[in-house]
Amino acid sequence: MTGEIVVVAGGGGFIGSHLVGALMREGRHVRAVDVKPLGEWFQVFDGVENLVADLKVHDHGHAACRGAGEVFQLAADMGGMGFIEHNKALCMLSVLTNTHMLLAARAAGVRRFFYSSSACVYNAEKQRSPDVVALTEEDAYPAMPEDGYGWEKLFSERMCRHFREDFGLETRVARYHNVYGPHGTWEGGREKAPAAICRKVIHAKHTGSPSIEIWGDGHQTRSFMYIEDCLRGTLAIARSEIREPINLGSSELVTINQLVDIAEEIAGVKLERRYNLSAPKGVNGRNSDNTRIRAELGWEPSIRLRDGMERTYRWIHDEYVRKYGD
């Protein structure tokens, strides 16, 4: 297996580029595929076959999978809650990418196909309170996922299942819960809460501003998974015999206000908070029930939010200074 081609679709993105690096360190022959021009990839590695292609196009999917034994399908048009709520059609068009990659993987005789789903597939009725009960894998049905992005993810999960059942393509599906870390989007509208809050705190500190804007009332609850835990879980699930979708997320639940507290502590500042109640804020509460992943793998994501946020803050700080100056 060491010599076979491993495809990372979305390999120029945040999680995808970290995954490319992890596979490279294993000595794998990696083909990274992304729609962005190579100069816009989040990370580029020497010794990788880098392919710029739009996987929503049928032929591009076949080119990406040619000769491959393993596929990690992470390519999607997505971002943080602001992007998801304002770009539902764009998010749903990722179904073309998933369809063409499944078809191409089947045609190429791919051995394993990993699909990155999302906690956005879960029934919204179970996420109305900040005092949320952690979501188990069964809570995706009856279906009432996040509009647009969540519906597309849930549909693509079912496609993976039926390609396995009908065509024998071994598919594995992980439901990611809020992945964050260095080398991610930190400005421009697609960034997620940890990066957005780090940027806001950094900007306030550098400009001398006494306050920052928070989307929602700050009482929304979430769990956030550091990228290293995401990589470990992704590789373990992809190589396991876990055939049903499974949670991949931290169970360390915090409010958005507590997330801001952490960023302020790292920065050594205390800021006034302006709450924008009309901004996109997503569900009121969401957390990962890790009972199944502990039973299946004897492991769960465990990197403390405070530790991951410190590394993320330092990286975003350096990027901010590089772009905007001291």
Catalytic residues, by residue number, are 149
Closest by CA to 284, choosing from 197, 222, 224, is 222
In a 13 Å sphere around the CA of 77, the CA atoms on its Cβ side amount to 19
- What does R_g of the chain's alpha carbons equal in angstroms? 19
Classify strands 221-223 and 253-255 as parallel, antiparallel or unpaired. antiparallel
**Pair of tokens at residue 324:** 């905007």
Residue 176, C-beta contacts closer than 8 angstroms, at least 6 positions apart: 15, 116, 117, 118, 119, 225, 230, 248, 249
Give the whole-angstrom CA distance, residue 216 versus residue 228.
29
**Pair of tokens at residue 92:** 């749903």
**Pair of tokens at residue 300:** 């769960």
**Pair of tokens at residue 194:** 């940890």
